[in-house]
Structure 1
Amino acid sequence: MATPSRIHLTVNDTGIVKNKPQTAEAASKVSELLQQNHEKHHVFYNEMGFHNHIVHHMLTIYGLGAPVSIIEKRYAENASYQRPPMTEKDKVVADLRSPATFSKYLGSGKYYHPFLLFFQREMEDKGWENVLNEYLFAGNERADNMLGRMFAGFLHPIIHLGFGIEFNQPAIIAEALAQAAVHDDWTGRFLLATEQAAKAHPSSNPKTLPDIIDSIHADKKLSTAAHFSDSNKIRDGILSRAKDEMIKHATQWVVTPENLEEKTVEMINTSIYFTAAAQHPPKQVKFDFYFMHCANSSIFFHSFNALPSISTEMKVRMLQWKGYLDLAMYASRRAPPLLMDEISNYVPAKLEKGDAEWPGIFERLIGFQDDGHASKLGRSVRHGELASKKWEDKNADWIKVKGFMWGKIGNMVIDSVEDTGERWVRSAGFDEAWEEFADRPRREKI
């Protein structure tokens, strides 16, 4: 049985996107390897705070039906450069039990392991649902601070939380809480400031996310606020040079208990829309590395919404914050034009029987050697297709990606990483980001 300290997957724990059944052998092997990662590796693989993606990668390819041989190979490749967690400090774990001393350890990677042990013990005593409600959803200063950190690090902590919930693994939920605790808090400060502005001046004419994206693109101050030289283009660009404009645009997106279901799919569809359509012809098709995280995190909001232990108020709040951050991410890459023809007219690189359909796309993603970003993106695109179908049928005006475009994007994902050059473009709205990429080969339209 899965516990706060023991990872245990079954053949039924394969996630929200179905491809093909899993085997007991694969379930046992991925459980063993994720347990090894849980005990032996830090959440950051270097001092710069680059993330350990093993959990994300293993669960994604396991959920898509990867065999044991591939699971072992992908794990070995990515375990080779991880570093061990720092030595447990009993005093730190004890200090975390007191609200008066809890906060002094936040934001420092050296305390990841004490935080992990602390949250495991809290879950053993109280249950993981109650721990989430206490440390993320209580609405007090500590919970708001922790919830804000969940959205930090380009959404990695909340992606980790989503995997833990989706795959029914309390130990991975504990990892996610510990991961959030060692991230910084500037993202949360932006989200809280935007939330407060929305409450102080409620929008009289709410807009959809695609409409706000168009407005951001047209806002010259905001769309040029980030500079290519900025170390962090949201923090040092958008929030330093156009914070008021960013908040003004973001607060026009409004989620309520009544529209939660629709707004969840609007967020999912829109995150994939701006991630896929931010192309730069005639350069090779590549996906923006930062936009990709908006798409990869979108898949988990259905799992959050399905949890009865989370109040509707908090589900609304989490989705609202996700929309705010997606808009800031779009603005931070200089709000690139979104070229829908690049999706509609895309010709897959491999049109052999099966290779360009979802089962074939998934097989190629499972076999692709990386740290899991590509397979996560492909799975999220397929989830977006499934989630959007109801609203496509209703002709919702915010639907941008629809019909045959989903399969085109799935092919763009795997084709782009299998192509020559770097796998991802970093900051798609800057001409400088595309200079290293070659012009794409010509293919006939279909």
Structure 2
Amino acid sequence: MAPARAALTALSQRLFPAPSVFRSKLSPSLWAGVTSDSTKTLQRVLQDNHNKWHVYFNEEGFHNHASHHVLATWALGANAQLIQAAYKSNEQREAFKSPEPITKDNFYAHLGDDKYYNSYMEFFRRALEQQGISSVLEEYFFAQEANFPNDGHDSRLMLNRLMDSLYHPMIHIGYGLEFGLPGMLVEGLAQAAIHQALWPAMTPPSLWAEGSPVKSSEYSSGQHIFDILADMAIDSNFARIVNPDPESMAILYHTYFDHQVAVLAYAKRWVVDTASTADVQKKLEELVWLVTLIYGVGGWKRDAGFEADFFYMHLVTSSLFLSSYVNHLSAASLKKLLESYCTFALMWWVARGRPPLDIAGFFATDIPTSSQMSAVSSDALTFDAATSTAAPPNPWLPIINSTLIHPDNHIAKLQRALAHYSTVYGERAAGQEDFARTKLIGAEKLDGSLFIRVAALSAEKLGRVAEGEKASDWYRDGFYHTA
């Protein structure tokens, strides 16, 4: 092997070792099925993706999801053949050399310019080797210098870039944190640097106000996110958001400009006390229910069924990685991350039309969580002699089977997140006081079946391909009023 190629191979192996999983209640466990062969295939395709392809697969800035797809399927127990097939199914754009290197001196000069992706990767690779991920995140994304230097008269907005474009940079870095993969960290950090910060008001200078406490005195324990949702749901300012051109994404920017001040005011009522581990865990749980309600219940109507919204889906998939940041950030930076994440989630709810959340109707409706199995032995415990069928003993198993072989590169991320939330929160019974005492209409009906219900609706809408159904696509029209 030529020396240059050998050096590249050695570097790739350092960047993408076998994944290691940090064990905590809020971090997902691996599903049964992971093997040495599947792990080696995963490493090989991650290295290939890193060396060959740009993080955007086209000139419009659409994201390369290959690494997300293969990591999610690997973690769900996919075999080596499926991991390879998932990698090949993703459209890509060849990587290219940047116009010049990125250094400390010009780091902020090329933000938002995807031509500098490779140079930002090399910059962050060296920074990670010298500083480690916690120090890099603090210096380049959470420090005031990285966001609003010169007393706020200049803006670099690195935290905003981390959240930009449906949290894609945050997700990418999150995979690196969850699985201990330096290569994913390098790619994700560089991806954040080339994002645009299109909703700048969502991370205001006040986050870096001198002496800003980790714990807020205005809301000593913070308002429950359901109380904030309830107030936003009846706010007439959001009542009739009209999209004049369904073929254009301009509505996302119109709603941002029209409603940024109001959304930010609501978001400021949600406060995280990061000096308290218990409050961090509580607020992480609130975010899980928030994003699942927006995607699952917000996408459902009693008479119209379910629409699996492409944009709201990203709220669920991104939320899975918040817990991976907890052990890598200072209390002050973790507060900025979680509160900014919530702000963006509320803005997305409004930007897509703020659909109503009919919780009572959703839970009063019989939502089949699985289809019937055929060719079941009459010895089976759940065998139905009248139909010669039986319900799947675990409704998650057929959902995950279809997920693993589905051609879409987002569905595995979604179902992995929902399955994990079902594991952590699935035992919750309806009527518990912390939900019932909030102002959100129907909150007393919420129970842990939310996650399997939403997963089943998503599987049905996208196509249960393992059961012979055709693959379908995400809903992109939004929930706007007609003019």
Shared fold by TM > 0.5? yes
2:135 paired with 1:130: yes
C-alpha displacement at 1:207, in angstroms?
2.8
Alpha-carbon distance in structure 2 between the residues aligned to 1:147 and 1:383: 27
TM normalised by structure 1 equals 0.85
Inter-CA distance 339–421: structure 2 relative to 1 (3 Å threshold) = farther
C-alpha displacement at 1:168, in angstroms?
0.7
C-alpha displacement at 1:193, in angstroms?
5.5
Alpha-carbon distance in structure 2 between the residues aligned to 1:338 and 1:29: 42
Name the counterpart of 2:273: 256
CA contact (8 A) 2:273 2:335 kept: yes
Name the counterpart of 2:379: none
Which structure has the larger Rg? 2
Selected match of 2:195 from 183, 189, 209? 183
Name the counterpart of 1:380: 417
Q: CA offsets per residue over residues 299-357 of structure 1, 9 Å max, x none?
A: 1111111x1x4212211221111111111111112211113333552124513243862
Alpha-carbon distance in structure 1 between the residues aligned to 2:116 and 2:301: 42
2:344 paired with 1:325: yes
C-alpha displacement at 1:211, in angstroms?
2.2
Alpha-carbon distance in structure 2 between the residues aligned to 1:235 and 1:131: 31
2:469 paired with 1:430: no
C-alpha displacement at 1:280, in angstroms?
3.3
Name the counterpart of 1:97: 104
Name the counterpart of 1:437: none
TM normalised by structure 2 equals 0.79
Inter-CA distance 390–254: structure 2 relative to 1 (3 Å threshold) = farther
Name the counterpart of 1:245: 262
C-alpha displacement at 1:390, in angstroms?
7.8
C-alpha displacement at 1:130, in angstroms?
2.4
C-alpha displacement at 1:232, in angstroms?
4.0
The residue type paired with residue 246 of structure 1 is: V
Gaps of 5+ in 2: 1-9, 149-155, 374-390, 464-468
Name the counterpart of 1:436: none
Name the counterpart of 1:443: none
Name the counterpart of 2:401: 363
Inter-CA distance 280–92: structure 2 relative to 1 (3 Å threshold) = same
C-alpha displacement at 1:87, in angstroms?
1.5
C-alpha displacement at 1:6, in angstroms?
2.3
Name the counterpart of 1:115: 120
Alpha-carbon distance in structure 2 between the residues aligned to 1:179 and 1:313: 24
Alpha-carbon distance in structure 1 between the residues aligned to 2:244 and 2:424: 35
The residue type paired with residue 430 of structure 1 is: Y
2:293 paired with 1:273: yes
Selected match of 2:253 from 226, 232, 235? 235
Selected match of 2:94 from 84, 94, 117? 84
Gaps of 5+ in 1: 433-446
Inter-CA distance 97–377: structure 2 relative to 1 (3 Å threshold) = same
The residue type paired with residue 362 of structure 2 is: E
Comparing 2-11 with 401-410, greater Cα deviation is found at 2-11
SS in 2 for 1:429: coil
Name the counterpart of 1:444: none
2:342 paired with 1:342: no
CA contact (8 A) 1:273 1:401 kept: no
Percent of counterpart pairs with the same letter? 24
C-alpha displacement at 1:83, in angstroms?
0.6
CA contact (8 A) 1:361 1:410 kept: yes
Alpha-carbon distance in structure 2 between the residues aligned to 1:11 and 1:351: 37
CA RMSD of aligned residues (A): 3.0
SS in 2 for 1:186: coil
Inter-CA distance 189–92: structure 2 relative to 1 (3 Å threshold) = farther
Comparing 62-71 with 386-395, greater Cα deviation is found at 386-395
2:454 paired with 1:409: yes
Inter-CA distance 241–142: structure 2 relative to 1 (3 Å threshold) = closer
SS in 2 for 1:396: helix
Name the counterpart of 2:238: 222
Name the counterpart of 1:438: none
Alpha-carbon distance in structure 1 between the residues aligned to 2:325 and 2:476: 29
